[in-house]
């Protein structure tokens, strides 16, 4: 065995290693399985991925949706692997069935004329993360300024630090399907004019939902969405002005506000498929 001064699994004591092998043996693992781990990289990768996502396995509905959506999908396994989220069996049953069929995912998007699976992002929205409410301020804790993705400003200096939409608003625990970028040609319009562009199957998401989508898209694909545009959201400030989220790049995700009856060339509309 290599020196225990090395990092990672090499630091595991012999007794711990033996106890681990005993647990695996108790569940039917044989030396042949271990040999396969060493001999087959793809097999080893699948086993490692299962362990990293906390032993979670998606339902058949989710697997089909993931196969269609590709990288534009963030399920319970991703939350577990990337954020260390633990799910109860009740929660897993709640999101076992993906609510939008293959016909919808492969259809033409009414907002931009692309295919839905290519211009949307599907994710499980959390109301709490390991026992604590998941708010915009909590998202800041999960994405510090020293890493990527990050926010453009942080509490307590961020203007919205005391705003209800940032401190209290959470998502519902369910699936979401959001348009990745603003609605096509929704810039330079009032909020009411923008909302009238949505078809009956769409609604305006909260700032929390839109911010979560932006961050998860980056975590999954490495891409920034709404690089030079803001997306108006459903939330308003304590002063009655509409919150918008975007202008998202390596400098951070930004959150600001504007009057509903004002137009601006860089402010469009966020859109979420109705549940």
Model confidence pLDDT, tens digit, residues 161-204: 999 999 999 999 999 999 999 999 999 999 999 999 999 999 99
Residue among 177, 199, 183, 176 nearest 112 (CA): 183
Q: In the structure encoding, which two tokens stand for residue 221, read together?
A: 């694909």
Q: How much is the pTM?
A: 0.80
Beta strands in 43-83 (DSSP E): 73-74
Residue 228: band (very low, low, confident or very high) from pLDDT cuts 50, 70, 90: very high
149 preceded by cis ω (within 30°)? yes
Rounded-to-5 percentages of helix, strand, coil across the chain: 35, 20, 45
User: In this structure, are residues 235 and 207 in contact, taking their beta carbons and an 8 Å threshold?
Assistant: yes
Strand order in the sheet with 230-236: 252-258, 242-249, 230-236, 267-269
Q: Which residues of 51-77 are buried (b: 16+ CB within 10 A; e: fewer)?
A: eebeebebbeebeebbebbeebbbbbb
Model confidence pLDDT, tens digit, residues 120-167: 999 999 999 989 999 999 999 999 999 999 999 999 999 999 999 999
Residue percentage of the chain with pLDDT more than 90: 76
CA 196 to chain centre: 27
């Amino acid at each position: 065995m290599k020196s225990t001064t090395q990092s990672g699994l090499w630091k595991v004591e012999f007794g711990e290693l033996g106890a681990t092998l005993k647990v695996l043996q108790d569940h039917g693992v044989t030396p042949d399985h271990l040999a396969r781990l060493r001999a087959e990289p793809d097999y080893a990768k699948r086993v490692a991925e299962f362990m990293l996502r906390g032993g979670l396995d998606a339902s058949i509905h989710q697997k089909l949706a993931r196969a269609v959506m590709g990288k534009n999908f963030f399920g319970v396994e991703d939350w577990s692997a990337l954020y260390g989220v633990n799910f109860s069996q009740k929660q897993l049953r709640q999101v076992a069935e993906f609510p939008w069929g293959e016909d919808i995912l492969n259809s033409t998007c009414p907002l931009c004329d692309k295919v839905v699976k290519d211009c949307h992002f599907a994710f499980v929205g959390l109301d709490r993360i390991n026992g604590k409410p998941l708010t915009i301020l909590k998202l800041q804790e999960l994405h510090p300024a020293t890493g990527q993705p990050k926010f453009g400003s942080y509490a307590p200096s961020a203007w919205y630090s005391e705003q209800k939409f940032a401190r209290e608003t959470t998502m519902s625990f369910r699936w979401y399907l959001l348009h990745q970028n603003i609605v096509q040609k929704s810039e330079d319009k009032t909020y009411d004019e923008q909302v009238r562009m949505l078809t009956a199957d769409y609604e305006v998401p909260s700032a929390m939902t839109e911010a979560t989508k932006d961050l998860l898209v980056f975590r999954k694909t490495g891409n920034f969405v709404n690089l030079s545009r803001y997306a108006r959201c459903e939330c308003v400030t304590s002063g009655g002005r509409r919150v918008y989220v975007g202008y998202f790049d390596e400098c951070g995700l930004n959150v600001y506000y504007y009057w509903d009856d004002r137009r601006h060339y860089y402010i469009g509309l966020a859109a979420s498929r109705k549940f």
